[in-house]
Amino acid sequence: MTTSQTPATTRFLTGITTTGTPHLGNFVGSIRPSVEASRRPGVQSFYFLANYHALIKCEDPARIQRSTLEIAASWLAAGLDPAHVVFYRQSDIPEIPELNWLLSCVTGKGLLNRAHAYKASQDKNQAAGREADDGVTAGLFMYPVLMAADILMFKAHKVPVGRDQVQHIEMARDIAASFNHLYGEHFVAPEAVIDEHVATLPGLDGRKMSKSYDNTIPLFAPREQLRRLIQGMLTDSRAPGEPKETEGSALFQIYQAFATEAETAALRQRFAEGIAWGDAKQVLFERVDAVVAPMRERYEHLMAHPAEIEETLLAGAERARAVATPFLRELRSAVGLRSLSAQPAAAQPAAKASRAALPAFKQYREADGHFYFKLVAADGRLLLQSTGFTAPKEAGQAIARLQQSAADATEALQALQPQLAPVDGVTPSDVVAALQALHAAA
């Protein structure tokens, strides 16, 4: 989690939208596994409060501010270590909205038209007999680009998401590829990480615990409020002494998410023996409170001292900007936003035209740790794509072999065939012609 990155380090990035109060489902499904993941060796973790994204969903300034405070306090109380991870507020990183604009300029509208959230809004309008884009803001439409900026700014390799967010990671990869194609290899292609074992908790009414259903149990509800909420959970009408099913029981599922395997087995036995619902709810309350109580004390302290959270977030922003600022400087230069004194303006178009007239090799490293190269035509078409090499020297040697004399181009291409991946619509003669053009210009 520093500005430097060794080859063995994998960067993970997670964003939390600041529009609500964390509940038990958030803890089990996101907070707890993310905090545990941040402690793994060889991992750099970036965690941010996505308050720009919140503006798309919420128009209540007080709620956004309050949610930012509650979510930050919840993550810190749950054990997130700001000395070990980069923990920051999205709006404290001015490089992100600037990158958002740079990416907007290379993102096709057709790609954004296919975004699930945008299509869902259009479908909802159509079902209600309204104009397709009624109530759709530019922010909602451009949401995938801002998310791509969040991810690509820090060259994140892995982004833990739910299945409903996988499309956004795929779109970030597409946007990164578009930028890299035009301006050179700057961005890492991120990968979505889906944990199939992360639990989804039921709420008070048995449906998925969600703010949308108003059935949540706040993570740091006071002890007596927690007791009342659990005692009010819906159960069936089976009487004390009558065996009860664990399958489909919201009460049992929540208990299982907070208990050990031995404790879970013991409660399953008590269900079979006909435990009274009141007693089962008391068991659940005691188990959840045993986990939450030590964190609740820390949470309440942080909520009473918001300046501590503010200081932590600003320190995290400073660390994040140590990465973002030089990278954005690189990107600004790549697109031509440069000092006029760096190079005479009249000389630039000629140099650009000269480069554009020739194919080009590009060598880069992917998140899998392997080294690749590709040959791109003068018009930007992909002509040649390598498979992965274990060392950059090997990739460089393969490029050098392909750059031999024009007479040897076909032979070199055939010799390296096992290290080359097929490219649709490209013939060997296309590649040979490009190699000959490079040789002639050398």
Binding residues for ATP: 17-19, 25-26, 162-164, 201, 208-212
Tokens of 102: 């740079």
In angstroms, the first-to-last Cα distance of the chain is 43
Annotated binding site: 17-19, 25-26, 150, 162-164, 201, 208-212
Annotated binding site for L-tryptophan: 150
Closest C-alpha among 116, 122, 152 to residue 135: 122
Buried b or exposed e, range 27-37, using 16+ CB within 10 angstroms? bbbbbbbbbeb
Question: Quick check: 150 and 96 in contact, CB under 8 A?
Answer: yes
Closest C-alpha among 205, 231, 204 to residue 218: 204
CA atoms of 219 and 21, how far apart (whole Å): 8
Q: How many CB atoms lie within 10 A of CB 436?
A: 16
CA atoms of 244 and 238, how far apart (whole Å): 7
Buried b or exposed e, range 141-162, using 16+ CB within 10 angstroms? bbbbbbbbbbbbbbbbbbbbbe
Tokens of 384: 């040649």
- The DSSP element (H or E) to which 361 belongs, if any, is strand 360-365
